[in-house]
Structure 1
Amino acid sequence: MNHKARKEVETVISIVLERGGEYFRELRKSLTDSDRNLLQSLVYKEAIAHQDTMILQTKEDG
């Protein structure tokens, strides 16, 4: 993702979180511990996969 696209995504996420905060709080409250753990696991795995991709791209570029 290029710098401009990343900034646009960050801007949109910021707006969504600002305007949808109450919705996300209520949604989180409605989840079971098991559901929250699953979501946390998925986010963690995605973050690791993203880091691996960035490392590979850096090695290919350098």
Structure 2
Amino acid sequence: HEVYLAVKDMAHVADATLLFGDHDLIVKLEAESLATIAKSVVEAIRQVPGIIDTKTLAGAEL
């Protein structure tokens, strides 16, 4: 829950949802570029105490 509270209001975070199962949290980021999202993940999200691992998936509107 502390990790959720830490990331939910970060820049580029459009949504954060607590999960049950193999993963604890899903965070949706929105930005002008994939590079901006990658920077947010590396420089902000991965620095939050309690985050052990991240997986980044990119989506596209067709």
- Taking structure 2 as the reference length, the TM-score comes to 0.29
Larger RCO, structure (CA 8 Å, separation 6 or more): 2
Larger Rg: 1
- Taking structure 1 as the reference length, the TM-score comes to 0.29
